[in-house]
Each structure stands twice: as structure tokens, then as C-alpha cells.
Structure 1
Amino acid sequence: MTETPLVRTVTQVGIVVRDIDRALAEYTHKLGIGPWRVYTYAPPRLTGMRIRGVDTPYSMKLALAWTGDMMWELIQPLDGPSIYQEFLRDHGEGIHHAMVDCGARTLAEVKAEFAARGWPALMEGNFLGSQYAYFETEGSLTTTIEVRWSAPGWQRPEPDYWYPAPAEA
């Protein structure tokens, strides 16, 4: 039986690190990736935080950069339990997840489809109107899958800072 495809394209590779400043320097100066937008995801801008269905506050510092259409994300966990802390404990630093585009589906529809395939939501949150969910796919797919949904017209806010400097207009 052929399943209805969930994944349209991979849009991001997420990497969990212990020291985001060190990682930013390595990815920038050795690979030439950047400039990076750096954000702190924490309350009150981060809401709806859940881990395995339980309301759980957490925070992280993350940096985003693009090479072509691919987004790179570096994540340093800060406060509270998180799947990033679990990953560091179980695997050390490294590639944590792939974010995928599931087409025009809402996040609720995607969550229902993943759950029907045996992959419940692992960790969720909402950053200023952009919702995300990670799914419990590591056991069968050997990596975690993330999906993000934002309303049409949603714009990413200005970062807390840029590394090494803002992108040229």
C-alpha cells in the first residue's frame, strides 16, 4: 500500500550544540555559511511549549542561515528540559533533525497524519505566531522530523543580533 506523501521538500537541517558562539565561528569561518540571524526563543515570545503532550517551559538560543534554499539552524538549549538536552545527553552534539515542508496542510492536520503513522508530537511551541512541532520519528527513521506552520504573510522578526554582521541589502 502506498501512503499519501507527507514530505514535499527538506527545508532545514537542525544541529544541536553546547556552545552556539563557538559553533557560529566554526560554521562561518570554516564553511563560509552565514550571515546568521541569532534569536533567543523563550517566554513571553515563546508560548505553547509542550513535550510529549505535557505543558513544559523551555528555552533555547538558535541561529539561522541559508545556503541557497536550505536553512541551517544551530540550537543551544538554555533553560528547562527539552529534546535538545536529551539529544546532547544521548548523542552529544550533532545533526538533530530535518525540517520538512508538508504542503498546504495546517499543523493540526500534519500532527494528525504523523500520529496516524505512529509518530506523535514530541515537542511543540509557538514563536510569535510561527508554530512548530517535532515528531517521535527517531526510532524508525533514525532522525527527528520537524514541521513548521506560519499564517500566510508571517514575517520572521528581526534577530536579537547577527553573526558576524547583518546581511547586505
Structure 2
Amino acid sequence: MNTATPWITGVRQICLAVEDCDATIRRYYDQVGIGPWAVWTPKLTNTKIRGKTQPYSLRVAMAWTGDFMWEVVQPLEGPSIFREFLDEHGEGVHHVLVETGTEDFDQVLAEATARGLPPIMEGSWEETDFAYLQSEHALKTNIEVLRRSPIFKGRPEPDYYYPFPPPQDSPE
């Protein structure tokens, strides 16, 4: 990746950090019609904060408008950049998930670090690795990048839906 060229090729998701996931997704559905929502308490592995192994847990809700994903994250146990964000800013837009073209995930992390945006929180969920880049001060929001394993077959069945399961043809 050349530092003079853009390496973000698209935005796939916007994410809110919140104290109460269920209350937030209810408001999004009831007040503006975004939903239905799928909600998980994912079993995360390989979790790190600022390069050091650190367990943490989150409640995660996702909904789609067309091909665009909305995500709501509530930190549960352990330190996380979501807890830090809530303590410093209160609830609000925490990050955007970006596409990086055909770049290799490890190369994207190396290039982001070279550009002054090292990963500040990382982990894995099923066949997906994710990293949040330290971009809040420079870019006014955090950026998330991810890598899906070639064996990725979709997210696991959610813990529950609000207010009902999505149609079978949804992008979930």
C-alpha cells in the first residue's frame, strides 16, 4: 500500500457505543424503523488491547438498511475501548467499519500503523478477525477493519432478535 493513495475503499457499517443495547435498538426500531435487530453476546477469542492480551466481553446488535449495517455495542466485562469511549464521551458513534479493497489484513494493519493508526483493540469472533485502529483523535472516529476466514459461512444464530427475525433474504 502506498501512503499517498487511499486505502479505504468503502464504508460497510456505523457503530454506536451504548450503556443499554436493548433500549437503544428498541428506539432505533420504534422511532426510525431501523431493524429488525439480531443480538449476540459473542464468544470472543484472541482479545488484545494495545497489543496486550486482555479478555473482554460485549453485547452486539446488528441491523441492515439495504446493504449497510448498523451496529450497537454495549461493553459487558473487562476493559475495552468501548468502555473508555463511554466514560470519556458518553454514548454515540464509536467507529466505522471500512473496506480496504483486496489488501491483506496483516498488511492493512502494518500500513495503518505506519500511517500512525496502530490497532488499539483486537479479537476474533468465529471465523472473523477484527481490529480497531487508533484513529479517534486524528480522524474524529475509530476505524474497524476485519478479515474473514475462507471457511466463514455466516454469523452464528443470534441470542435473540428485536422485534422479530429478519426476512430470509436479508444481507445478514
What's the TM-score, normalizing by structure 2?
0.93
Q: Percent identity?
A: 48
- Give the corresponding residue for 2:158: 159
Give the deviation of 1:103 after TM superposition. Answer: 1.4
- Give the corresponding residue for 1:56: 54
- Secondary structure of 1:113's partner? helix
Q: Which amino acid aligns with 1:27?
A: Y
- Give the corresponding residue for 1:108: 106
Rounded Cα–Cα distance in structure 2 between residues aligned with 1:106 and 1:57: 26
Q: Does 2:90 align with 1:92?
A: yes
Q: Which amino acid aligns with 2:150?
A: P
Cα distance 1:112–1:2, how it changes in 2: closer, same or farther (>3 A)?
A: closer
- Secondary structure of 2:110's partner? helix
After superposition, give the CA deviation of every residue in 1:62-92 in whole Å (9 maximum; x if it has no partner): 1000001210000000000000000000000
- Give the corresponding residue for 1:22: 23
- Secondary structure of 2:34's partner? coil
Rounded Cα–Cα distance in structure 2 between residues aligned with 1:67 and 1:61: 20
Give the deviation of 1:111 after TM superposition. Answer: 0.4
Rounded Cα–Cα distance in structure 2 between residues aligned with 1:78 and 1:2: 37
- Give the corresponding residue for 2:167: 168
Structural RMSD (CA) = 1.3
Unpaired segments ≥5 residues, structure 1: none
Unpaired segments ≥5 residues, structure 2: none
- Give the corresponding residue for 1:40: 41
- Give the corresponding residue for 1:6: 7
> How many residues are paired up?
166
